Amino acid sequence: MNDILDKASRNDGFTVPEGYFEDFAARMEARLPRQEWEDAAEGKAAVVPRSWWQKVRPYVYMAAMFMGVWMMMHVFDLMRSSQGLGVENSAILADAIDNEQFMGEYLASQGLYEDDLLYDDLFNDGFTPASYTSDY
């Protein structure tokens, strides 16, 4: 295994001069231009006060966010049907159920024409003979 390491030299041609990193930070600092915030940190320049908009901006953004959420919920509420699809709320559904020919064809096409399934559906919906009142 040592033969392989000897054959593959680890010298890639890049070397660092002696003592290069000893004063690297000082040389880099000397080359960079001085920034205003460095002078402010040392007390040479006064801190610029925040403007009115900079003070109020977070509250304006938060109010806009809450208004957006409120509007989104309002739109969802408008999209939701408040009446539902109950027979009592739709004259078209009431007329369709009252039409014996339509109901017979519909129930037969859905495979619900069997008496047992029809009675089960009525029972699951809460229908009992005692609850039936005829208006005729």
Per-residue pLDDT of the chain (136 residues; tens, 9 = 90+): 567 767 776 666 778 888 888 889 999 988 998 887 777 666 655 667 899 999 999 999 999 999 999 999 988 887 776 655 555 666 776 777 777 777 777 776 766 555 566 667 766 776 666 665 555 4
Residue 17, φ and ψ in degrees, nearest 5: -60, 155
pTM of the full structure: 0.30
